[in-house]
Amino acid sequence: MSYVTTEDGTRIFYKDWGPADGIPVLLSHGWPLNSDGWEGQALYLAEHGCRVIAHDRRGHGRSTQTWTGNEMDTYADDLATLLNVLDLTGVTLVGHSTGGGEITRYVGRHGSARVAKLVLVSAVPPFMLRTDDNPEGLPIEVFDAIRTGERESRSQLYRDLADGPFFGHNRTGDVPQGVRDAFWLQGLASGHRNAYECIAAFSATDFRDDLAAIDVPALIIHGDEDQIVPFEVGGQRSAKLIPGAELKVYAGAAHGLPDTAKQRLSQDLLDFIRS
């Protein structure tokens, strides 16, 4: 198992798949998951000649369950450590949901010297929380309900998310049990405090300035039936804030695209990486 160690002693787990000389791709996962949530895309891209790195965010999966640092600035700095230790250049950063916030904040804090391209998939930018200067966001009660679920019975919360809005199973009824169970298992591998504090990180972080700083080719992929990060709150707005961004809308698609649109997403990522 591979790890890098950050300045505060946190051990960040990562996978490194595919040829060492392949086009480098970094996959950043959503909440409350870990790098296993990207396995379908990681395998596909590696089989097609990419070098694929996927890490577990601090407090998630096999990384250290830290008491502090459960916010976007530190997530971005942890990502910088990983890219620096592996000395990755010309990398395509791909972020799903909360991971989209992580890679966006990375560019905002550390620049794009190591980055060739960037992809946001069902991502939380530009700003999920409704405030006076962000009236398009969601009311805080939405996120307070998630916090309550995390405190009272996070196992049931993760089951309810998997069986309901995350994959759109509450509308379609066709998401396999194994896919839903995998979400539940990955969620329970996260630290309780880490997952709780990450709710504020993904909902109350303003990424608008970070998006404006992106100066590499960017692709935004979002489902128009996303019940977690509604298209109008996320992808549609981000596409307007990133200069020259390409937007792909998956008609009828829910939030968990790495599973519910596995083949299409994998191919769209490969095409963009190679373009």
* Catalytically active residues, by annotation: 97, 226, 255
Q: Please say whether the beta carbons of 144 and 150 come within 8 A.
A: no
Considering only CA atoms, which of 97, 85, 100 is closest in space to residue 13?
85
C-alpha span between 191 and 124 (Å, rounded): 21
Task: Give the C-alpha separation, 229 to 132, whole Å.
Answer: 19
HSE, side-chain direction, 13 A CA sphere, residue 149: 18
- Three-state SS string over 80-139 comes to HHHHHHHCCCCEEEEEECHHHHHHHHHHHHHCCCCEEEEEEECCCCCCCECECCECCCEC
Longest dimension (CA), the chain: 48
The answer to whether the CB of 250 falls within 8 A of the CB of 235 is no
Three-state SS for 21? Answer: coil
Pairing of strands 115-121, 2-5: unpaired
Q: Alpha-carbon distance 77 to 74, whole Å?
A: 5
